[in-house]
Amino acid sequence: MSINRKFALAVAAYVVLGLLAWQTLSSEPIRMFDLEFSLRTATLFIVGLFALRTLLYFWRVRIDDARAEEAQGKRASAAEQQ
């Protein structure tokens, strides 16, 4: 399975998780350590962090693939010149 397809499936899963969290969790505020936030917001923030981590991994793999292709192209052109 290609990295593009895996990324698309991961983003779709995060969207589904976000929608389910939005529909099922209450927006009633919770107080913790002198901070007041809703459980819904905290859950969406955590899902967003996982989505960001997935995006960063996707970019890294694409950059690594591009560098590998570039190196392979340089090797092929050097072999042709000899």
- Please give the pLDDT value at position 6: 94
Q: Above pLDDT 90, what percent of the chain?
A: 56
Residue 45, domain extent: 3-81
The DSSP code for 34 is: T
The model's pTM: 0.78
**For 1-82, where are the alpha helices, taking DSSP H only?**
3-24, 39-81
Give the number of other Cβ atoms within 10 Å of residue 37's Cβ.
12
Number of domains in the chain: 1
Residue 82: pLDDT band with limits 50, 70, 90: low
Could you read off the pLDDT of 31-65 as tens digits, one per residue? 888 888 888 998 999 999 999 999 999 999 999 99
- CB neighbours of 47 closer than 8 A, spacing ≥ 6? 14, 17, 18, 21
Across the range 1-18, mean pLDDT stands at 94
Taking the CA atoms of residue 51, residue 52, residue 58 and residue 62 in that order, the dihedral angle to the nearest 10 degrees is: 160
